[in-house]
Amino acid sequence: MGEEFYAILKLVSGEEIFSLIVVDNEDDNDTVIVLQNPVLMSTNTTPNGTFIKVKPWMELPNDDIFIIRLDKVITMTESKDEKLITLYNHYNNDTNIDIIDKKTGLTKPNYEMGYISSVEDARRKLEKLFKIEEA
């Protein structure tokens, strides 16, 4: 088995998969690709901006490792895009705070996106600030 790397694969079915992969070519006649937590990523553009939708490649299986034969792959490219890798890791890592809601597929706002507090928190802070200045 080779080294693990992040890659985007285009399958003969037309699907584009992003995954952490290992290419196993120990048997020259039957090279296989081992996919760990493969996801489908698609770019969607709306009037509010462009976002990436992430969903599992296969929704029903409980497995996170899949094996496909090389003849089912049209092309494969290694991805070193830090944003895609971070998005992939956040989506698959349940121990960290997810930036994507797995049920709705929507992005949860965070501090880096400009989200500082909720409306209620901001209201309380402003009321407290102005009450202190009036006194």
Which residue is listed with tokens 């003969």? 12
The model's pTM: 0.63
Count of domains for the chain: 1
List the single range of 23-27, 79-83, 101-105, 117-121 with lowest mean pLDDT: 101-105
Confidence of residue 1 (pLDDT cuts 50, 70, 90): low
Residue 44: its pLDDT value, please?
86
Closest Cα partner for 58 from 104, 120, 98, 15? 15
Question: What tokens appear for 75 in the block?
Answer: 């092309």
Are 88 and 6 in contact, with CB atoms under 8 Å apart?
Answer: yes
Structural domain containing residue 17? 5-134
Residues in the chain: 135
Closest Cα partner for 67 from 98, 99, 31? 31
* Sign (positive or negative) of CA dihedral 46, 48, 50, 53: negative
CATH of the domain at 9: 2.30.30.100
